[in-house]
Each structure stands twice: as C-alpha cells, then as structure tokens.
A and B are shown apart, each in its own frame.
Chain A
Amino acid sequence: MIRRIAFTKAVFAGAVGALAWEGVARLIHLTGVRVFDIVWVLGTLTPTLNSQWKWWPIGIAVHLGIGAIWAIFYAFFFWETLRLPRWAQGMIFAIGPALLAGVVVVPELGSIHQAINELAPANPGIFAWRLGWSAPFTIILGHAVYGFVLGLLYVRPVGAPAGKPPHWKHSPVGARQWDHPMPPAPNGNFMFATGIECSYPTIDHGRWRMDELQLTNHYRYWRRDIELVRESGLRYLRYGPPFYRIMLGPGRYDWAFTDAVCGAMRELGVTPIMDLCHFGVPQWLGNFQNPEFPHALAEYARAFAQRYPWVRFYTPVNEMYVTARMSTLDGAWNEQMQSEDGYVRAQLNIVKAAMLVMEAIQKIQPRAVFIVSESSEFYQACCPDDAIIRKADFENQRRFIALDFLYQAKMQPQIEQHLRNHGMTDAEHAWLRNQPPAGRCVMGIDYYAWNEKVIDVHLQPESLGELFGWYVITQQYYERYHRPIMHTETNCPDAKQAPGWIWRQWHNVQMIRRANVPVVGFTWYSLQDQVDWDSGLTLSRGNVNPVGLYDLNRDEREVGQAYRHLVRLFRNEPLPDIPWLKEAITS
C-alpha cells in the first residue's frame, strides 16, 4: 500500500468536481458560447439516447465516474506532494488529465461518436480545436474547475472526528486456516516481542483523532495480526487497547472489542504487554491537563485487571516524557500547548497516573510486572556556548523527571525548582515523593535514530541521527535507576536498511548484557507498518511508514524475515535471574 487514502472521500470529491465542471459548462452554454459538451458526447454514444432526458443522466454518470477515477490517482500519488494550498494542488494535478483528455480522449471519443451518432459533428480533433476557440477553452476551464473542487474537498484522508470513533469489527477478518506448521516459539524466557502500533492522540485542537489502530486497519484485521505474531515465531506482544473508546465515562466501559482480541491472544498463545494509555485520553476527559485524568486511568486499570486477571504485563502510560512533551511543549497533540506550565502539569498528572495504575493493578494482580516504556533521549550541545550547554544539560535532566518520581530517585535541585516555578505545589511534591518506589518494574528503553538530538545555535533540538546508540544511552538510564531493562521499541524508516538496523540493535543488546546489565527482552516496533509518523502524527496525510515486520496488506517485509531468523538463532537465550519476572512468565 503506497498510502492510506479515503476512497469514499476521493470518489465524492472527484464526482463533485466533475459536477462543478458540468455546472460551469451549462452556464457558459446559456450565454450562447459554443462549448465542447463532454456530457452530451458521453450521453449520446448510444444513438437511442438522443432525447434530452435520456442522455443527460447517462452522460453525467459516466463523467462523474471518470472524475472519481482521476480523484483516486490524485489521492494516491499527488495529494500533499506539493507544499501548496490544496485548491492549487488540485488544479496542478488537473493539468495531467486535461492533456490526456485533449490529446487522446477527445479525438478518440469524437471519432467514436461520429460513427455512432448521426447528429454528432465531425471529429473535433485535438482539444476539439475544429469546433472553434471556445471548445479548447472550455475543456481547459472544465479541468481547472474540476481540479479546484477536487483539491478543496479531498482533505484529511485518515483519522476520524474526535467525537465519532471509527467502526470496529468484532468478528475476525482475514483470519487464516492454520493448516501449516508454525515457527517454534522461543525456548528461553528471553522476551522477544513486537507491538501493534496503537497511538491515539487528537490533533486540530481536540477535533480530530489519529487512531493508529484504525489507520493501520487493525480494527479490521485484528485476528490476522495476532496470528502474525505467532507466525513470526514470537510470544510477546506490546498491545494497547484503545483507552479512549473503552472507557466511555466513569464506571462505563465497552469491552466487546478487547474481549474478542484477548480471546484470540489466549487461544494462540500470545502474551500481551498491555499498554493502558498511549498518547491520548477519552474525549470526555479532555487532555492531560485534567486533574481527573490520573484517577480515571487508575479506575480503568482496576477494571481492566479485574476483567482480564490472566494478564501479567502492563505498561501504565507509554513514554511519559514524550506524551507530555508532544502535548505541551511541541504543541503537537491533545492540549497542543507550548508552555512550561502546561508541561509541568501534564508531566505530574501522567506520573501520578502511572503510580495510581500500578497500585490499582497490584491490588488485584500481585504478580503483575510493569514494563515502563520510556523514550531514550539524549541532548548534545552543538558548540561551547554557555547558554547552549545549559539548555542541553537541562533537557538531559528533564527526560528523567517522570522516572525520578516513579523510582524515587534523586532529582537535581534546579529541576525540582523548575517544577515548582511552573506550578508544582508542595502538597503535590510531598504526595509524589511519599509513594513507595515502584516494584516489579522493568525499565523499557525505546530507541530510534532520531532520539539523539543536538541543541543548535538557536537553542532548538535537532535530530542528530545515531551518534552513541542504544548501548550508551541505556547505560545512562541503568546507572541512574538500576532496574532490569527491556528494549521496548525500535524500527527504521527506510525499509531497505531495516534488516541491518535490527541486527545492530540486537548487537547492542548483546553487548550490554555482557556488561552485566540485566536485559530481559527485545522488541521490533511494530508488527505492521505505521501511518503518518513521518509528521509525528500531527498531519492527517495517510503516508505509510514502512517500518513494520509486515506491510499494511499483512505481507511480510524483509525485516520480518530477518527478525524471524534472529529469533530462531537466539531462541534459547536465557533470561537474567529475576525471580519475580520468572514468576510472572511462568504463572
């Protein structure tokens, strides 16, 4: 799949564009100017349809159909490839159909028409120039109108209005008959995993939701996706049920979809790492500024653990730092603020939520293990300038705020002061600091090449690419918190480079294990391609990011083969000796 497009929207936009063309052509016709009447030509290709009431519906239907077909090409290959207003994109695109129509279709149709219909004029020639200047003019004008309308109407192909969640299917689609042998699951307890990309932030100031489960067709192919985990020789799956659609309000839940998916996981022997909050909240909660968010998430976690008591692995809030940063500093998601006050409020709410979630789950499932996934970040000053170095140092401390509270680690005084300066109260600080350090936790360290950043001369972070790599950055986190580690996310945006990247990441894992850092698992994220992460999920464009083990048609990519091979080679890799983790795995 080259791109997720909205077929219905494209067909509608193309048809309306063709209708607008017809409207303009009729108006010009009324003024007495001779036009090349494409609808009449199409409608009278069969000679029995010469009366007015018969040819128009036939002609306009065919013309609308052609308009829809071109619109699909526009949606697939042209839309948003130019940085221009959308109406201009549509008009530039229409140059192609106009040329093909003028040079190929009009002469051809003219000749067909003449042979069929005795009322038809002589072959009009290229761009119908034999009919006079007004005919080529109306062909070009008609296409311009078509392109203008198409460009205006075809917008936001993926995602859904925040108040109107997309449809989901409870019955399996695309499931296969298991009539063939499966790759063996790993023997050792080392946790080879993948994940279903499940982000669901809102954009456009809360009006539009980008739900990756919808964008990647998981709501349709969920059963097939669970099967693919096993076909890849894997057992563990990072999976985020859509919190925003399950928790309909305080005490109100819709579990139907999750019930079906969890049933398939148990049937197929897939162990989920349940990700309870992935970059978004339900519409009724608003955003991460809401002080009710931590309590609502804890209530959801409690209900979840009660409903699925066999689930052992949880991620309370995925990438707490990234969630807060993208929502409040980068102005990208949810509250879309650009404010330190907003950041501090969101970060404190999120870490409080994580603490309450862990407490709630542990009361119901004492054997639960928490895989606290966090994006590994590192900031490098570009040059020996005090302000730049201070900024890099500050950002390198900011990345630890959530984990410092969660694991009750010592925080730098200037960071604590920063939190107080931007809204943290004494009571809040006391509550956070009086919680017991999180137990039974695995520190999930996500790593992508863009996680390492340089602070440039304008004090702005810029992606640096892989400079030190997962090994070095992870050492920084491990030395601070001394918790077992799992490589919980990585991928490569270039599908051709991905097999090399997965091996590079695996060698990082091996190297750090040799340095006696207890790494318990490795994850390629995600199972299937993702959509619109090239814009950080800030734009609804439908661009497919080929980072999956499988593409969106659920066809395996080369990295899928590479991972299957890797897992086969290292299927006996032992788990570090962590009794509570082994207990969770074997119980």
Chain B
Amino acid sequence: MSHFMRAHGFSPGPTQRPLTTGAIAGAIGGLLTIPLMSYSGAIASLADSVGSNIAVVLPCYIIAFAIFGIIYGAVFRRAANDHRGGWLFGISYGFLTWMFAPTFALRVILERSVASGVPALGFIGAHLVFGFFLGLLFPPIHHYIQRRHFVTEIRLEQQAHP
C-alpha cells in the first residue's frame, strides 16, 4: 500500500501540515465523543480497568485520539484532504482504531477486556463518531492552516519585491 500511495504523489509538500492538522482534528473528534463515552459508561469502565478516575482517564483518551489523528495525517497525507468523502473515509479509520485500541491494545496491556456490554458498545460508537469528525474536519482545518502559510509567503514576497 505504501508503494501505491507513494506512486500517487502523496508527499504533502512544503505548504502542507498533515500532522498538525491530524492532531487538531483528532482532538476535536475525541472531544465530540465525550457525551457518548459518558452516557454509555465506556469512560467509567475504562477508568475502573486502569484503577484511576474519569478526570485523569478522559484527557488521556482525548490525547490518544489526537495521536490517532496524527497517524491518520502521517499515513494518508494528501488523501486525508478529501472534501467530499473524508467523513466516510474517517468512519472507516475510526472502525480500525476501535479494532486496534480498545479491543486489542488495551486488552493486551491490561490482560483482560476493558469493557463489556453497553460500555463496550459505547467504545465502538465513540470510535465511529471520532472517525466521522476526524475525516470531516481534516480538510477544512488543513486548508485553513495551508492558507495562512500561503498568504504569509505571498506577503513576504511582495515585501521583498514591491
């Protein structure tokens, strides 16, 4: 897949900031999952599993979503900028992160399942919601950052060559 993507000119180029964009979009996507995580009891279940409280676990989980966003930006780079299909692509990515994080990584680390029943469903839903917003928000956030970079460059150029 990496060969395929390289062949299609995936280099983000000097004006693009996919990692920053991924972090911002991922964190926002994570924040937007809080109602679902709380309502389903997923976050409480996670806090119980790691022996901590929600106030500590919740920011950590948001940071994890930001990291997922960075990975999304790092892997997909220009592909992540899809204005039209990004949300659907993001949901797919959210599904992958669910398979990796709560169902695999946390299970391996904690040597048991993090949640079962409705809280476990909450995790699935939260990751899909996260993916949806990550994919949806990535292009406009990225465009805003890139635009600022472009405008700055043109202004500097005009100052240098009035």
Which of B3-11, B31-39, B57-65 touches A?
B3-11
Instruction: Give B142's nearest chain A residue, CB to CB.
Output: A555
- In B66-123, which residues have CB < 8 Å from any A CB? 76, 78-79, 81-85, 88-89, 91-92, 95, 99, 103-104, 113, 116-118, 120-121
Instruction: Give B94's nearest chain A residue, CB to CB.
Output: A69
B81/A555 in contact, CB under 8 A: yes
Partner of B117, one of A11, A112, A176: A112
B99/A105 in contact, CB under 8 A: yes
B13/A558 in contact, CB under 8 A: yes
Which 5 residue pairs across A and B have the least CB separation, nearest first?
A546-B9, A495-B9, A115-B117, A115-B116, A553-B81
Instruction: Give A5's nearest chain B residue, CB to CB.
Output: B85
CB neighbours (8 Å) of B20 from chain A are none
A7/B158 in contact, CB under 8 A: no
Instruction: Give A546's nearest chain B residue, CB to CB.
Output: B9
A180 to B146 Cα, complex, angstroms: 13
Cβ of B1 < 8 Å from any Cβ of A?
A: yes
| Minimum distance in angstroms from A578 CB to a CB of chain B | 29
| Minimum distance in angstroms from A214 CB to a CB of chain B | 13
Partner of B11, one of A115, A176, A553, A558: A558
Contact A73-B13, Cβ < 8 Å, known A104-B99, A111-B116, A553-B139: no
CB neighbours (8 Å) of B11 from chain A are 495-496, 558
A558/B14 in contact, CB under 8 A: yes
Q: List 11 A-B contacts (CB under 8 A).
A: A2-B10, A5-B85, A105-B99, A112-B117, A180-B154, A553-B82, A553-B139, A555-B16, A556-B146, A557-B9, A568-B161
A537 to B125 Cα, complex, angstroms: 41
Instruction: Give B143's nearest chain A residue, CB to CB.
Output: A555
Partner of B5, one of A2, A73, A558, A568: A2
B89/A112 in contact, CB under 8 A: no
Contact A556-B15, Cβ < 8 Å, known A5-B85, A69-B92, A116-B117: yes
B150/A112 in contact, CB under 8 A: no
B118/A556 in contact, CB under 8 A: no
Cβ of A394 < 8 Å from any Cβ of B?
A: no
Partner of A76, one of B81, B89, B116, B161: B89
A72 to B82 Cα, complex, angstroms: 13
CB neighbours (8 Å) of B5 from chain A are 2
Question: B-contacting residues of A (Cβ < 8 Å)?
Answer: 1-3, 5, 7, 11, 45, 66, 69-70, 72-73, 76-77, 81, 100, 104-105, 108, 111-112, 114-116, 174, 176, 180-184, 231, 494-496, 529, 543-544, 546, 551, 553, 555-558, 561, 568
Counting contact residues on chain B (CB < 8 A from A), the size range is 35 or more
CB neighbours (8 Å) of B121 from chain A are 45, 112, 116
A30 to B43 Cα, complex, angstroms: 42
Most A CB contacts (10 A, CB to CB) among B14, B116, B143 go to B116
Contact A544-B82, Cβ < 8 Å, known A180-B151, A183-B157: no
Partner of A69, one of B16, B81, B95: B95
A183/B139 in contact, CB under 8 A: no
| Minimum distance in angstroms from A229 CB to a CB of chain B | 15
A108/B14 in contact, CB under 8 A: no
CB neighbours (8 Å) of A105 from chain B are 99, 103
| Minimum distance in angstroms from B42 CB to a CB of chain A | 11
A69 to B127 Cα, complex, angstroms: 14
CB neighbours (8 Å) of A184 from chain B are 158
A184 to B99 Cα, complex, angstroms: 51
| Minimum distance in angstroms from A7 CB to a CB of chain B | 5
CB neighbours (8 Å) of B78 from chain A are 1-2, 551, 553, 555
B89/A104 in contact, CB under 8 A: no
Instruction: Give B148's nearest chain A residue, CB to CB.
Output: A180
CB neighbours (8 Å) of B92 from chain A are 69-70, 72-73
A529 to B82 Cα, complex, angstroms: 14
Partner of B9, one of A70, A100, A529, A568: A529
- In B134-162, which residues have CB < 8 Å from any A CB? 139, 142-143, 146-147, 150-151, 154-155, 157-158, 161
A2/B8 in contact, CB under 8 A: yes
CB neighbours (8 Å) of A116 from chain B are 117-118, 121
CB neighbours (8 Å) of B104 from chain A are 104
A85 to B51 Cα, complex, angstroms: 53
| Minimum distance in angstroms from B141 CB to a CB of chain A | 13
Assuming A104-B103, A114-B116, A180-B150, what are 11 further A-B pairs, CB within 8 angstroms?
Answer: A2-B78, A108-B103, A112-B117, A181-B151, A231-B150, A495-B11, A551-B81, A553-B78, A555-B13, A556-B146, A556-B150
A181/B120 in contact, CB under 8 A: no
CB neighbours (8 Å) of A7 from chain B are 84-85, 88
A112/B116 in contact, CB under 8 A: yes
A72 to B91 Cα, complex, angstroms: 10
A496 to B78 Cα, complex, angstroms: 14
A181 to B92 Cα, complex, angstroms: 39
A551/B120 in contact, CB under 8 A: no
A290 to B143 Cα, complex, angstroms: 47
CB neighbours (8 Å) of B76 from chain A are 2
| Minimum distance in angstroms from A111 CB to a CB of chain B | 5
| Minimum distance in angstroms from A504 CB to a CB of chain B | 18
- In B11-47, which residues have CB < 8 Å from any A CB? 11, 13-16
A551/B85 in contact, CB under 8 A: no
A181/B161 in contact, CB under 8 A: no
B113/A111 in contact, CB under 8 A: yes
| Minimum distance in angstroms from A169 CB to a CB of chain B | 13
